[in-house]
Structure 1
Amino acid sequence: MGGSNQWDAEWEVSEELAHQLISNQFPQLASKRIQKLGHGWDNTVYLVGTEYVFRFPRREVAIHSLTIEKNILPKLKDYCSIEYSLPLFFGEGKYGYPAPFLGYSYLSGEFPIGLTDEQRAVSATTLAVFLKNLHAFPVRIAEENGVRHDHRNLTDIALRKEKMHQFLSNISSHLSEEEYFALANYLKQLSIKKVKPKHTFLHGDLHFKNMLVDKNGKISGIIDWGDINIGHPACDLNVVYSFLPPNARPTFFDVYGEVDEETKLLARLMAIYIPILIMMQAIDLNDLRSIDEAKATIKRALAD
């Protein structure tokens, strides 16, 4: 049953249940080994053989998002310059499991954890081309396929700032004095209340757990498209601050195109807000590796 945190599961999918659901509906996969890869805020993920990944919603809120992925992701082929999760299998809930689920082609790679600034800088142009193309996807087509407009109200900076003060209180015991005051000072200086809405097609949740890199640390894949929405491009542009070091940011904007100061402000805010959320979940799970990477991401996002 669900708990008190926004990432707590409303239902769990065991390995046995995952195998039952997959083998019953896709008998061609019945002989393949199924193993749990982990879970995010909204989905539990299983590797099937070596070729496929299946995502099972663990909260009701994820069901709508999965339906959107089914409809939209196949339409992005001409807009994605980086490999992404393409859905191939569409399953229905059975055996007491109430949600649909999707199977995707497996993308090889590792999460970009512990990379050097030099490794990160190599991906500046790759990320810029990817987001420039993705943000050109026609909003009309997205709307026709049920994609929502800014359902998380990301342009309301005052509300996000209020939440971040509470989050900072929650994680304070896991921060050094320097880390705590860097965040507190950033929030103190954040005076703008709201930014002007924009209407761009977005991945919606770009962070180090939804990006993959090759053995050299270069971006090679984008996964977990469950937060696709139409909204402010700053949501995706957070990677300029969360992933790229300061010296690589001009290269990114040279390729992507310059953006206004409000967009940069909101992008930096999201680059700090998202890893704080990741850190809070990682603390609950005692995931020290993710805690450390979230801290490093925040420090990088705050750097000029």
Structure 2
Amino acid sequence: MTTEWIPEREVTAEQATHLIGARFHDLRGAPVRLLATGWDNTVFLVGEEWAFRFPRRQIAVPGVEREIATLPLLAPRLPLPIPEPRYIGEPSADFPWPFWGARLIPGHEFAAVRPPDEHRTAIATETGAFLRTLHDPALARAVGFTLPFDPMRRADTPSRAAKTSTRLATLARLGLWQPDPTVDAFLAMARDQPPPAGDPVVVHGDLHARHLLLAPDGRAAGVIDWGDVCLADPAVDLSLAYAAFTGAARKAFLTEYGPVPPARETAARTLALNLTATLAEYAAETARPSLLAESLTSLHRAVTD
């Protein structure tokens, strides 16, 4: 397995039970079960009500600290639910990193549901409205003062285009991707484009098909996993408009969100390709067929209208 998603520490349900019960007496004895894993965090459901996030790698710890500091400021200002840390676990001898718990946001990952394209319009409208609010410059002035500026350089169009070509070559070697002239031509163009210009805003930072939750009725239920929250160009989040939606759904997203200048659109499409190629490789190596299928389809969506 690729080393970038092998955990440095993987908390078990038994360990989580001990860590949570030792710090939060009102949760002692509550049932604890694994809810989800990513390459940076492991999430447990506690008492069928609370979602606890434990970092799996040292590199994720600054993101956990940003979540703890920033999400309580963002939550009341946004039109969709996001996690709001209620229980904060400090580093200790039995676990060296911070962790936290928030009330569970009920829903299923967009990538697990995989609604048909023709059923995505309402989701796109709600997501466009959510990002319009998140990207409001007034919000950046109110809560963004402690956030770093695009630490992963995700709005750097030439750099992301080059990284994406490398990812796609890996997918091709794995037999998961047939080179697509349209994708290759887009990436060649993007490598010569400057990053978008404009004032930075608060961004989720890693907004993809695992981090948008859907309710049973198929509507947007919430946005999770804010470990990459930062200040950056809006293109960093607008990648979702090009990875998850096409046709009427994308039009609905952009109608709700507002105009996207050409350089920002290029950056967003480039990042959509980069994130979905990465997710496809991760999904293949960790046996996540729904995520793999959604990611491979998203590679084509990202360069079509």
- Calculate the TM-score normalised by the size of structure 2: 0.92
Match of 1:8 in 2: 6
**Counterpart code for 1:36:** L
Could you tell me the percent identity over the aligned residues? 30
Q: Does 1:30 align with 2:28?
A: yes
DSSP-derived class of the 2:61 partner: helix
Match of 2:149 in 1: 149
| C-alpha separation in 1, matches of 2:81 and 2:70 | 15
User: For each residue in 1:36-81, what CA deviation from the matched residue of structure 2 results, as whole angstroms up to 9, or x when unmatched?
Assistant: 1221121111111211100001111111111111111111134210
Instruction: Measure how far apart 1:294 and its partner are.
Output: 0.8
Q: Does 1:76 align with 2:74?
A: yes
| C-alpha separation in 2, matches of 1:72 and 1:18 | 24
1:30-109 matched pairs, under 5 angstroms: 30-109=28-107
User: For each residue in 1:148-188, what CA deviation from the matched residue of structure 2 results, as whole angstroms up to 9, or x when unmatched?
Assistant: 001111232222122112111111033353x6444334323
Whose RCO is larger (CA < 8 A, sep 6+)?
2
Cα distance change of structure 1 residues 38 and 78 upon mapping to structure 2, 3 Å threshold: closer
Instruction: Measure how far apart 1:263 and its partner are.
Output: 0.8
| C-alpha separation in 2, matches of 1:262 and 1:214 | 34
| C-alpha separation in 1, matches of 2:76 and 2:17 | 33
Instruction: Measure how far apart 1:88 and its partner are.
Output: 0.7
| C-alpha separation in 2, matches of 1:265 and 1:211 | 22
| C-alpha separation in 1, matches of 2:76 and 2:21 | 32
DSSP-derived class of the 2:110 partner: coil
Unaligned runs of 5+ in 1: none
1:245-256 matched pairs, under 5 angstroms: 245-256=246-257
1:234-249 matched pairs, under 5 angstroms: 234-249=235-250
**Counterpart code for 1:131:** L
Match of 1:190 in 2: 190
Unaligned runs of 5+ in 2: none
Match of 1:175 in 2: 176
Aligned length: 300
The 10-residue stretch of structure 1 (96-105 or 181-190) with the greater mean CA deviation from structure 2? 181-190
DSSP-derived class of the 1:9 partner: coil
Q: Is the 8 A contact 2:54 2:99 kept in 1?
A: yes
| C-alpha separation in 2, matches of 1:78 and 1:22 | 26
User: For each residue in 1:186-226, what CA deviation from the matched residue of structure 2 results, as whole angstroms up to 9, or x when unmatched?
Assistant: 32343533213431111111111111111232111110111
Q: Is the 8 A contact 2:201 2:231 kept in 1?
A: yes
User: For each residue in 1:88-121, what CA deviation from the matched residue of structure 2 results, as whole angstroms up to 9, or x when unmatched?
Assistant: 1000233532101010110111112321112211
| C-alpha separation in 1, matches of 2:140 and 2:156 | 22
DSSP-derived class of the 2:226 partner: coil
| C-alpha separation in 2, matches of 1:175 and 1:15 | 33
DSSP-derived class of the 1:238 partner: helix
Match of 2:120 in 1: 120
Q: Is the 8 A contact 1:48 1:54 kept in 2?
A: yes
Match of 1:219 in 2: 220
Instruction: Measure how far apart 1:5 and its partner are.
Output: 2.7
Instruction: Measure how far apart 1:253 and its partner are.
Output: 2.4
User: For each residue in 1:228-268, what CA deviation from the matched residue of structure 2 results, as whole angstroms up to 9, or x when unmatched?
Assistant: 00001011111211122222223222222212111111111
- Calculate the TM-score normalised by the size of structure 1: 0.92
Q: Is the 8 A contact 1:54 1:101 kept in 2?
A: yes
